[in-house]
């Protein structure tokens, strides 16, 4: 296995025992009866530090998973933590290939009977996308918790250590089972499908504007609200097992005076799908609409979503989707609609079947 793994146990005796067993080639071992949590680290500000690059105040993805854990010694009291580094990047550079690698590895880790839950450390910029992707493809009822930070680890009052503590406590909490991928930041818990980053710098940058939060958490003590009822995880039809890549789906952003050039360019490039980040309820200019109609005629699947931060984009309200051959994204933001469409296109190109996914997931 290419990832390095480290164990952080609840005390010196157990740590020595674990080291001995690891040296003997034994599988992962839990210390005492504490929950066994694996951290998969991917980078982000939570692993960020002061930058050496002139003009940049900090750099994401500098510290390793072990560095992060070392900054929260209290973890030893609540879990036996093992770590793996999947990648170490700013999540602005997250891509489909890393998603596939992460999803496959996460599925393997969750199958391990010696693991009770998983925490994924991640940058906040695309955390909601990775969370939703994993929510749709990873089949397990064990807790999966994603966590990030708004301040780099080296900054004054870094928020990462408390966020990690809360994330590990939540992953160790049986109440977090069967809820799909959860996101923890700033004492709040969000569902993957609902969560959005809504502020560039604030500590409480994450919200779940449509259906609300999954819960709250303070000093590791969680209060979880209603369970999600839409399809995900074990009930999901999607799988990455046999996938080496994902279909090309791009997003176009609408505004006053938006033309059709971008849409025509994407259709010529033969993308499989275009998501419209439309104005209002997923609308755009007449010129861009004509471009989208032509794209549909050329076999591109078009999904209408909205650039508006909350609300629903429904079929056949201001735009006649039946006549246009388009799909309405319902509650999904453009970036999440892209993920569902990519996965949907791995199964079908029928507009009717793809629309069903947007009703059910
Ligand atoms: N650019 C960073 C990232 O997403 C921001 C953060 O983590 O807060 O990796």
Helices (H) and strands (E) counted in the chain, each on its own, are 11, 17
Q: Is 200 a catalytic residue?
A: no
pLDDT grade for 58, boundaries at 50, 70 and 90: confident
d(C-alpha 172, C-alpha 161), whole Å: 17
- C-alpha 91 to ligand 1 mean position (Å): 6
Cα atoms in the 13 Å half-sphere on the side-chain side of 87: 19
pLDDT in tens, 89-108: 999 999 999 999 999 999 99
Pick 57 or 160 by higher pLDDT.
160
pLDDT value, residue 214:
98
- Which of 125, 163, 197 most suits a substitution to test ligand 1, by most atoms within 8 Å of the C-beta? 125
CA distances (Å), origin 41, targets 49, 65, 241, 341: 15, 6, 21, 27
pLDDT value, residue 209:
98
pLDDT grade for 6, boundaries at 50, 70 and 90: low
pLDDT value, residue 342:
98
d(C-alpha 145, C-alpha 190), whole Å: 10
Query: Where is average pLDDT lowest: 22-31, 159-168, 239-248, 293-302?
Result: 22-31
Burial class (CB in 10 A: 0-12, 13-18, 19+), 292: buried
pLDDT value, residue 15:
41
Which ligand 1 atom sits nearest the alpha carbon of residue 92?
4
Q: Report which protein residue has its CA nearest ligand 1's atom 8.
A: 124
pLDDT at 111 over 80: yes
13-24 average pLDDT score: 39
pLDDT value, residue 348:
98
d(C-alpha 288, C-alpha 310), whole Å: 23
- C-alpha 124 to ligand 1 mean position (Å): 5
% of the chain beyond a pLDDT of 70: 91
Closest to 3 (Cα-Cα) out of 45, 46, 38: 38
pLDDT at 85 over 90: yes
Which ligand 1 atom sits nearest the alpha carbon of residue 148?
7
pLDDT value, residue 25:
35
194 lines ligand 1 (CB under 6 A): no
The CB density around residue 139, as the number of other CB atoms within 10 Å, is 16
44 lines ligand 1 (CB under 6 A): yes
60 lines ligand 1 (CB under 6 A): yes
pLDDT at 28 over 50: no
% of the chain beyond a pLDDT of 90: 86
Angle between helices 286-297 and 261-268 (to 10 degrees): 10
123 lines ligand 1 (CB under 6 A): yes
pLDDT value, residue 118:
98
Tokens coding 116:
């009770």
H/E segment holding residue 221: strand 221-224
Query: Where is average pLDDT lowest: 65-69, 106-110, 339-343?
Result: 65-69
Count Cβ neighbours within 10 Å for each residue of 230-258 and write b for 16 or more, e otherwise.
Answer: bbbbeebebbbeebeebbebbbbebeeeb
152 lines ligand 1 (CB under 6 A): no
pLDDT grade for 30, boundaries at 50, 70 and 90: very low
pLDDT value, residue 19:
37
163 lines ligand 1 (CB under 6 A): no
- Which of 42, 63, 92 most suits a substitution to test ligand 1, by most atoms within 8 Å of the C-beta? 92
pLDDT value, residue 50:
77
pLDDT grade for 359, boundaries at 50, 70 and 90: very high
pLDDT at 74 over 90: yes
90 lines ligand 1 (CB under 6 A): yes
| C-beta contacts of 224-229 below 8 A and 24+ residues apart | 224/175, 224/176, 224/179, 224/189, 227/178, 227/179, 228/179, 228/180, 228/191, 228/193, 228/194
- Which of 42, 44, 146 most suits a substitution to test ligand 1, by most atoms within 8 Å of the C-beta? 44
289-314 average pLDDT score: 98
pLDDT in tens, 260-272: 999 999 999 999 9
- C-alpha 148 to ligand 1 mean position (Å): 8
pLDDT at 56 over 80: no
pLDDT value, residue 57:
77
Interior CA angle at 67 toward 66 and 70, to 5°? 85
pLDDT in tens, 185-220: 999 999 999 999 999 999 999 999 999 999 999 999
Q: Pick the catalytic residue: 7, 42, 45, 130?
A: 45
């Amino acid at each position: 296995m290419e990832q390095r793994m480290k164990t952080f146990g609840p005390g010196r005796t157990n740590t020595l025992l674990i080291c001995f067993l690891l040296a003997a080639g034994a599988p992962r071992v839990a210390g005492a009866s504490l929950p066994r949590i694996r951290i998969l680290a991917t980078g982000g500000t939570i692993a960020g530090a002061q930058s050496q690059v002139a003009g940049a105040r900090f750099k994401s993805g500098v510290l390793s998973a072990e560095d992060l854990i070392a900054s929260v010694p209290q973890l030893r009291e609540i879990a036996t933590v093992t770590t793996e580094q999947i990648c170490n990047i700013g999540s602005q550079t997250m891509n489909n290939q890393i998603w596939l690698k992460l999803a496959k590895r996460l599925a393997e880790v969750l199958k391990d009977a010696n693991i009770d839950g998983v925490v994924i450390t991640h940058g906040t910029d695309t955390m909601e996308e990775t969370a939703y992707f994993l929510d749709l493809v990873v089949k397990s009822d064990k807790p999966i918790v994603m966590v990030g930070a708004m301040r780099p680890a080296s900054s004054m009052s870094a928020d990462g250590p408390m966020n990690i503590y809360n994330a590990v406590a939540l992953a160790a909490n049986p109440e977090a089972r069967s809820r799909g991928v959860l996101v923890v930041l700033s004492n709040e818990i969000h569902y993957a499908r609902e969560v959005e980053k809504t502020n560039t710098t604030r500590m409480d940058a994450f919200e779940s504007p449509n259906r609300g939060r999954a819960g709250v958490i303070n000093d590791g003590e969680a209060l979880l609200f209603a369970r999600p009822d839409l399809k995900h995880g074990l009930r999901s039809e999607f799988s990455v097992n046999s996938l080496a890549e994902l279909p090309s789906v791009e997003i176009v952003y609408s505004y006053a005076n938006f033309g059709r050039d971008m849409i025509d360019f994407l259709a010529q490039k033969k993308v499989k799908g275009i998501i419209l980040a439309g104005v209002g309820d997923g609308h755009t200019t007449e010129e861009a609409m004509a471009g989208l109609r032509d794209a549909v005629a050329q076999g591109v699947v078009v999904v209408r979503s909205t650039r508006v931060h909350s609300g629903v984009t429904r079929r056949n309200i201001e735009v006649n989707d039946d006549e246009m051959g388009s799909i309405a994204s319902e509650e999904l933001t453009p970036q999440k609609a892209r993920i569902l469409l990519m996965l949907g296109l791995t199964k079908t190109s029928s507009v009717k079947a793809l629309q069903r996914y947007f009703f059910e997931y």
